[in-house]
Amino acid sequence: MADLLAVSGYTRDQMRGLLDAMPVFARRNTAARIAKTYSAQELLLVRTCTQLETRYGLQRGTVANFSDPLRSVLIGPRPVSKTASLLLSFDPADVHYLEATGGFEEGLLVPLAPIFQVVDDYLLPGTAQLNWHQHNLGFVPQTVDSVVTSAPASPPAAPASSAKPATSHAPASRKRRAQ
């Protein structure tokens, strides 16, 4: 329950009321004194439902009607998009995942970026900002040619017979005094 409270900002009583109203959580078999676990998708679902209640002013019964369609949309795989939104249609209650805004039918448009950000910040503290900067690098398929195995050429070594005697690096004034 602590995870849900941290992600939603709700009190324990508010959260219990919301979970009891949502069919997916009301059907769960629970035993006394046993901690319930929630997946990342369930955290997204709860955060979305609490936003529908608090930010958009939907009544709890309406939010509960949307919980199953919301769950099916949020659990499925989806592309990474900063402009992703949910479109909620009210007659009948239905939810659509939109990658970009524009060209949609009547309904409530809920941006997902702030919801994803809150859940990511909770699950991966300090790394969520990195995930939002992901994008395709645009690499194209390339062929790999044969690997070159020859070592780079080394400079030629000086012949041993032409070695010069070591010279002093002392300044010329010292050399004159020594003579």
Q: Is residue 56 part of a domain?
A: yes
Give the mean pLDDT of 67-89.
Answer: 83
pLDDT at 116: 87
Annotate 45-90 with DSSP letters as a single string. HHHHHHHHHHTS---HHHHHHHHHHHHHHHHS-----TT-EEEEEE
pLDDT value at 178 more than 70: no
Range of the domain at 77: 2-131
Give the mean pLDDT of 154-165.
Answer: 57
Lowest mean pLDDT among 29-33, 65-69, 71-75: 29-33
Predicted confidence (pLDDT) per residue in 26-65, tens digit:
776 566 666 778 888 889 999 999 999 999 999 999 999 9
Q: Is residue 158 part of a domain?
A: no
This model's pTM is above 0.85 = no
Q: Is residue 28 part of a domain?
A: yes
pLDDT at 112: 87
- Classify residue 14 by burial, with Cβ atoms within 10 Å: 0-12, 13-18, 19+: middle
Q: Is residue 26 part of a domain?
A: yes
Integer Cα distance of 149 and 155 in angstroms:
19
Q: Is residue 168 part of a domain?
A: no
Specify the number of domains making up the chain. 1
Predicted confidence (pLDDT) per residue in 11-29, tens digit:
999 988 998 898 888 776 5
Q: Is residue 44 part of a domain?
A: yes
Q: Is residue 153 part of a domain?
A: no
Q: Is residue 140 part of a domain?
A: no
Total count of residues recorded for the chain: 179
